Amino acid sequence: MSFSHWLLFVAAALATTFSPGPALLLAVSNAIGLGARQAAFSSLGNAAGLFALAALTWLGVGAALAAAPWALAAIRLGGALYLLYLGWGQWRLAARPWRAAGVATERAPGRAALFRSGFTVAATNPSALIFLSALLPQFVRADAPLLPQFFLLATTFSACALVAHATYLAAARQVAPWLASETGRRRFRYASGAAFVLLGSGLLVARG
């Protein structure tokens, strides 16, 4: 792959990963509620999930799923239910007091749980799998070894996702002081919960 083709792939990857979606919403929600450092673990999980999807693309799973509507529907259902679960979790936290006498009253998820949530959101996104199945082959040379090309493209795409998340997390850090009060955080959790529910509902009613 030439450097110019790689730069073109980077541009496409950045345009895709900067588009708002469930993974970025999860990262911003965690940043507001837990801080940017903790939220970074869900972003790392998302990057790992995208790398896994790219691996499935390389194995031809994306094309196989596109030809098997029932399998694609099963993945979409799993992703939708998980987004609804995340929305319910945000509403449940919003109903609790955030802090009492300077001590957190809710149990913060651990780093492993945050990583898993980011990975799950990415791995259960059938649209991302189909998109990668269409995008990656456009930048693969048939006359060159495939594995190094796959590794470069998958790593680049995951890195672009991390850049996008870092940008959103930095923005969330600037907004966080405005949500320092219990009322502000509660409103944000209700709003982010509603966004997760809308995204999950959209997957449930999606066709094709």
Asked if residues 158 and 50 have their Cβ atoms less than 8 Å apart, the reply is: yes
- What is the predicted pLDDT for the residue at 105? 44
> Using N-to-C axis directions, what is the helix angle for 126-135 and 3-17, rounded to 10°?
160
Question: What mean pLDDT do residues 142-164 have?
Answer: 89
Asked if residues 197 and 87 have their Cβ atoms less than 8 Å apart, the reply is: yes
pLDDT tens profile 47-80: 999 999 888 887 775 555 556 667 667 766 776 7
- What is the predicted pLDDT for the residue at 139? 81
* Average pLDDT over the chain, rounded to an integer: 79
**Cα(19)–Cα(40) distance, integer angstroms:** 18
pLDDT tens profile 75-130: 667 767 877 887 787 788 767 655 433 334 455 678 899 999 999 999 888 778 77
CA angle centred on 83, ends 81 and 89, rounded to 5°: 105
Q: What is the percentage of the chain residues whose pLDDT exceeds 70?
A: 78
- What is the predicted pLDDT for the residue at 79? 67
- What is the predicted pLDDT for the residue at 62? 52
Considering only CA atoms, which of 6, 5, 32, 45 is closest in space to residue 94?
A: 32
Question: How does residue 40 score in pLDDT terms, banded at 50, 70 and 90?
Answer: very high
What pTM did the predictor assign? Answer: 0.73
Q: What is the distance, to the nearest Å, from the Cα of residue 104 to the centroid of all Cα atoms in its chain?
A: 26
**Cα(46)–Cα(119) distance, integer angstroms:** 5
**Quick one: tokens of 102?**
């300077």
Question: How does residue 5 score in pLDDT terms, banded at 50, 70 and 90?
Answer: confident
- What is the predicted pLDDT for the residue at 32? 81
Question: What mean pLDDT do residues 19-23 have?
Answer: 82
Q: Which residue has the tokens 């259902």?
A: 77
**Cα(17)–Cα(153) distance, integer angstroms:** 14
- What is the predicted pLDDT for the residue at 147? 83
Asked if residues 91 and 190 have their Cβ atoms less than 8 Å apart, the reply is: yes
Question: What mean pLDDT do residues 161-190 have?
Answer: 77
Name the residue with higher pLDDT: 137 or 26: 26
Asked if residues 85 and 16 have their Cβ atoms less than 8 Å apart, the reply is: no
